[in-house]
Amino acid sequence: MRGALLIAKKEFLELTKDRKTLFLVFVMPFLLYPAIFTMMAKLGKRSEDQNRNKASRIYLVDPSATLVPILKADPKQFELVAKPEGDLRQAIRDQKLELALEVAPEAGAALQKQETFQVTATVDESERASNIALKRLKGALEPQEKNWIQTRLKTLSASPQLAEPLKLEVKNAADTALEVGKAIGTMLPYLLMIMMYSGSMQHGIYATAGEKERQTLLSLMATRLPRIQIILGKLLYIFSIGVISALLNLVSLGLSISILGSDSTSSVQTMSAIANPMTLGLTFMIMVPLGLFFANFILLMGIQAKTTVEAGTAIMPGMFLVIFLGVFTMAPGVDKMAFLSYVPVVNVCLALRKLFSQQFSWLEYLVSFAMTVGLAGLMTLVSTRILNQEKALFKM
């Protein structure tokens, strides 16, 4: 094993000569997450402030002036504008206004007869500003509707409770920590797998096919070190890079959430549910065998390639598979499919998703961990046996 450690040390010494790579591997993770979370928080706050302080522009067609007094009563919420040129729907899509309302011409007469009248709202549901305008409109009309109903009931000498048979009180069982945890738990496994695989892939190509291109592999094989230890040394190096990448990303994530969470009223809950050592530790623990599996695949493909270009072509499908599995596990309802807990790699994503969503199951986690360890061990056995053959190692 000493020989394998020497080979791994050699690869790390070569890594230290490349400052750009060192920056990307060891520094970038500590810049990436704070930048992402800070930007998201600032953009979200900015958008919320703009929408809160900006009145919704509404084009209103109201021949009987039924809704005009309601909308004009709150100029901070609503701004009545003239009809824009061209198609009305296109004007809303072009964000020249947020909402178009058309009140039935007989609305005034219908109110006097205690009849129902129709209001047609045209809105762009893909645009947040239009949805806010519609929400504001419903909020403004709700008390007026209740007023009209109470007037009708009073005219009929009926009880005011006739129009309100029940009161529905809604209590949100999810706190801020759970909402943030579910969002983080959906994205984190996908992001960690990509970071781990891409980091291992880049350095794996350099340490395998790159060794052939530099014509140093034969010199390395001419030493007294057993071939199996050279293979294990390179495997250890590729595996270490992936694990270090995952670890740094987790540490950066935990620090970022802790620092940004200090500005929130629910910071204690958020930190205890997301950034606590146990959650991050369990995440790192299950990523270790997954990193070993990735490292074996990269080593197996890279060392048999003739050039770095060929190695990249052989290893890249693994990246596509990682992206596909990551996106698949983010789909709604996937975490409810019990059989996916026994599908390799996918079960890791689901275990981490439930870990951050406060739905953690020790059984599912241990099954995923055991399967990943077994898969990594099997892959190590297969790759070392294949690469110990001269026709695989010296394929030129």
Residue ranges per structural domain of the chain: 2-34+175-393, 53-163
Q: Are 305 and 209 in contact (CB under 8 A)?
A: yes
Q: Would you state the pLDDT for residue 265?
A: 44
Partners of 123 in the β-ladder: 99
What are the φ and ψ backbone dihedral angles of 123, each rounded to 5 degrees? Answer: -140, 155
Q: Would you state the pLDDT for residue 338?
A: 77
Distances in Å between the Cα of 376 and the Cα atoms of 107, 281, 296, 320, 379 are 72, 19, 8, 19, 5
Closest among 156, 132, 150, 12 to 77, alpha carbons compared: 132
Token duo for residue 341: 């807990």
Q: Would you state the pLDDT for residue 45?
A: 67
- pTM of the entire predicted model: 0.65
Distance CA 92, CA 122 (A): 8
Partners of 39 in the β-ladder: none
Helix orientation angle between 227-261 and 2-15, rounded to the nearest 10 degrees: 50
Extended strands (E) in the chain: 56-61, 78-80, 99-103, 119-123
Q: Which fold has domain 53-163?
A: D-Maltodextrin-Binding Protein; domain 2 (3.40.190)
Q: Would you state the pLDDT for residue 173?
A: 65
**From the CB of residue 332, how many other CB atoms can be counted at a distance below 10 Å?**
7
The stretches in the chain having pLDDT less than 50 are 264-269, 272
Q: Would you state the pLDDT for residue 50?
A: 64
- The residue type found at 200 is S
